[in-house]
Structure 1
Amino acid sequence: MELNIVSREIIKPSSQTLHLKPYNLCLFDQLIPDTFVSVILFYPVHDPTVIDHSEAITQLKKSLSKALILYYPLSGRTKHNLYVDDFCSGVIFLEARVKCKMYEFFQRKNESQNQLVPFQPFCREKTGDVPPIAFQVNVFSCGGIALGISLCHKNADAATLSHFLKTWAAFSTGSPEKIIKPDLSSPAILFPPQTNDFLNKSTSLMDRLWFSEGDYVTKKYVFRAKSIETLKERAKSKRVPTPSRNEAISCLIWKHAMAASWAASGSPKPSVAGQAVNMRPRMKSVHGDNSLDNALGNFFWWALAAFDPDDYNVESSSDVELSELVVQMKGATSDFFNGDFISEVMTGNKEGLTEIMNQLEYMCSIELAEPDFIMFTSWKGYYNEVDFGFGKPFSVGTIGKVGPAFRNLVILVDADDQWGKGSVETFITLQRKEMALLESDDTFRFYL
């Protein structure tokens, strides 16, 4: 695919931010490695006579500058894994021309998505002078637009990016009632940044949990509504009589990724599935609000479900029951919300820090068993409503190809417009050998 960068600019907040004090990272921010995640919003052409989008792109730049006033930490530079400063440094804004039509792009291999974002996703990075967020507006020959976003995960998670993009869109369309003002003070007050040995040990652990050397590939698979209903029926049990859509899909992928790993290694081994859980709705801000919904930064944690074949006398992957994996995953998320972790973390400060330390020690103990790890995250409702004035996204893309070191990851994205109401796209990252085994797995492909 031929793609040409036709302009490169630095967009800064539209009013000076020199007087602002440095923005402190919270502990959750500090724990996450420096790495970029990609989000791509595809907007098809609505008027075939409009090919020149220069006016719309100018408006995007102006409104981005306004949005950065509210979300000014995204316009700064991260220092020493402690704080963000230099808010006038601005963000990267690229404009590209793609010499193919959007529908032709969707027929290409998934790796092509990396060309639509400023930075390659999920590589080990030394962010230094690199902005926490960067944008690339890609204009296809048919007039369609793909907005590619590279977000440094150390500075924000999917919920924060969703709020920022909706705010940017609100400025772009002149819809002030849709602006989402971020909570910039609660994160570092509830979970102050650390500078002790605990942080050094914990960041090393998190780096190992996020990255492992290997030849990773990412493939996109679509689950349509009818197949999902069949899958949910198969996944139910007395203990979980009504599994959710995400539980059924995630556990099917977990089961067959586990089978691929066992086939590749030649023997069964323990497997751990981590579900990213947004903690904001269960926590209170320092302002007395009901929740931390608008908190900037990273407010998610991993609910970990484990499957040890020795505990179930399992010798073959065909003996692993989908319904049992659903029970394990459901139990992990239930324990997350109803156990000590969320109740203690909600208090913040010393008690919250102690519980986070306990969780990290638990992760260390799991790591010693050398299990397979596979992590799941759902972007339900985050990006499908972002409208800059040319409609809602037809599709939401993400990873093309990760770097040479990463971990198994699955991203679930709503795909109602592209594949029918209730459909889900999954972006699965596995080792190349294991991905080949997954692709040839007829039982897995039955649900696609």
Structure 2
Amino acid sequence: MEKIEVSIISKHTIKPSASTPRLQPYKLTLLDQLTPAMYVPMVFFYPITDPVFNLPQTLADLRQALSETLTLYYPLSGRVKNNLYIDDFEEGVPYLEARVNCDITDFLMLRKIECLNEFVPIKTFSMEAISDERYPLLGVQVNIFDSGIAIGVSGSHKLIDGRTADCFLKSWGAVFRGCREDIIHPCLSEAALLFPPRDDLPEKYIALMEGLRFAGKKVSTRRFVFDAKTISAIQDEAKSESVPKPSRVQAVTGFLWKHLIVASRALTSGTTSTKLSIAAQAVNIRSRMNMETVLDNATGNLMWWAPAILELSHTTPEISDLKLCDLVNLLNGSVKQCNDDYFETFKGKEGYESMCEYLDFQRIMSSIEPTPEIYTFSSWTSFFNQLDFGWGRSSWIGVTGKIESAYCNSTVLVPTQCDTGIEAWVSLEEEKMATLKQDPQFLAAASPNPPVSRC
């Protein structure tokens, strides 16, 4: 096949459809303020075989449905001001339409994940938006293949976490399908009441959070797939008295963490120093507070990192002999600590002092020598599963191609669309990725970038 080319054929700016009175600025939360304004990509692939499919009408309806959805989710149409609030909701969302020079089925078989960045409108995991308030919070690109459509979304993490994106995209699909009973109405005020923003937030804390995400190294991104049978075997190995029934996500996260440690140690063999390996799992605050029914549809970064910490030294046994069940036990324990009592300490104006104590501790941890290795794990396995624009479930969710920024040591877990497998999208320093890809025990379980299965 010739080189895959993505050609932009039209550009629009989509604004909320309803003519509303002057809206009050939308307040960010303290958690939003601390989150770098990087763009997280996601691309949803939909093969379409309907012989009477009307492409021009479909494109027009998608634009109109997005405009109507933005009337409910109007903060996504605005711009961030002073890292405190969102205003200028008439600025709108950049919306591109593009033609791809191949059949969607052929593309899915080719597995050219490096092309995925061409299917989203804004640079992936870029820090460009941090100091520029002109940057949008959301961008959309509709990619037109022969016999299919891929909807690419760039969401700024300044406001959009997994649950926020899930609610918004499902609502857009519901409006497009004409199923208004499936619209998820957002709660736009509750999060800022719980975690109010600060106009005196020290710059050192913002810099800390940016530094934890961007390590200043060349990055390689690869996709590894764990099928259902393999995951079941990993779960069996991960069992322990403390965690008798590890979840699929727990087991795969533990397996990945173990082999990331193996890869790291292979590159630093002979060291005699103590080093911390930290696996930080993203947890949804909404489901971990007693206010769950109120928070479930709240917008914003209502997520937190649960750090599992492992101390490694020259006296540690052979790294490959680390027991998976012990790592999963650490992962499970760190998530258990993220409960209502824990988050209660950060609530309201009184919680700011506790937040500062937590951030100061993180600064101390990040400055110790040798520098701890921090791996972040985000699971999308409970999101986007029923994202339907009238063409059924997506055949595949693509995450990211080549990352040109220094965003590394990050893994996103995505459900396979045809069974109960899991795709792990891993971004590491290039040298460490090369070592991971030569690990025979890892490759016995993780298939490197196999073709996408058709349902």
TM-score normalised by the chain length of structure 2: 0.92
Displacement of 1:199: 3.4
- In structure 2, what is the equivalent of residue 81 of structure 1? 83
Displacement of 1:74: 0.3
Displacement of 1:18: 5.5
Please say which of residues 378-387 and 260-269 is displaced more in the overlay. Answer: 260-269
Return the match for 1:262 from 257, 262, 265: 265
Q: Structure 1, residues 22-55: CA drift from partner, whole Å, max 9, x if none?
A: 11111111000111000111111232x3565111
- In structure 2, what is the equivalent of residue 298 of structure 1? 301
- In structure 1, what is the equivalent of residue 356 of structure 2? 357
Work out the CA distance in 2 between the residues paired with 1:75 and 1:255. Answer: 41
Q: Is the 8 A contact 1:373 1:407 kept in 2?
A: no
- In structure 1, what is the equivalent of residue 140 of structure 2? 135
Displacement of 1:358: 2.8
- In structure 2, what is the equivalent of residue 436 of structure 1? 434
The aligned runs of 1:4-403 (5 Å cut-off) are 4-17=7-20, 19-47=22-50, 49-50=51-52, 53-106=55-108, 107-126=110-129, 127-141=132-146, 143-196=147-200, 198-266=201-269, 267=271, 269-283=275-289, 290-310=293-313, 313-337=315-339, 340-345=341-346, 348-369=347-368, 370-403=371-404
Work out the CA distance in 2 between the residues paired with 1:314 and 1:172. Answer: 56
Q: Is the 8 A contact 2:196 2:349 kept in 1?
A: no
Displacement of 1:352: 2.9
Secondary structure of 2:128's aligned partner: coil
Q: Is the 8 A contact 2:166 2:384 kept in 1?
A: yes
Q: Is the 8 A contact 1:439 1:445 kept in 2?
A: yes
Size of the aligned set, in residue pairs, is: 435
Secondary structure of 2:295's aligned partner: coil
Work out the CA distance in 2 between the residues paired with 1:109 and 1:145. Answer: 16
Work out the CA distance in 1 between the residues paired with 2:98 and 2:62. Answer: 14
Work out the CA distance in 1 between the residues paired with 2:405 and 2:210. Answer: 14
Q: Is the 8 A contact 1:341 1:356 kept in 2?
A: no
Work out the CA distance in 1 between the residues paired with 2:54 and 2:410. Answer: 38
Work out the CA distance in 2 between the residues paired with 1:36 and 1:270. Answer: 29
Displacement of 1:384: 2.0
Q: Is the 8 A contact 1:40 1:398 kept in 2?
A: yes
Q: Structure 1, residues 89-133: CA drift from partner, whole Å, max 9, x if none?
A: 110110001001222222133211111101121121234212100
Aligned residue identity for 2:381: K
- In structure 1, what is the equivalent of residue 444 of structure 2? 446
Q: Structure 1, residues 185-223: CA drift from partner, whole Å, max 9, x if none?
A: 112222111122x43221111011111111101111110
Aligned residue identity for 2:442: F
Q: Structure 1, residues 368-414: CA drift from partner, whole Å, max 9, x if none?
A: 23111100011123112111111111111111122331131111111
Aligned residue identity for 1:136: Q
TM-score normalised by the chain length of structure 1: 0.93
Secondary structure of 1:406's aligned partner: coil
Aligned in 2, Cα 1:383/1:217: closer, same or farther, shift over 3 Å? same
Work out the CA distance in 1 between the residues paired with 2:290 and 2:64. Answer: 34
Work out the CA distance in 2 between the residues paired with 1:199 and 1:71. Answer: 30
Displacement of 1:284: 5.7
Work out the CA distance in 1 between the residues paired with 2:436 and 2:276. Answer: 18
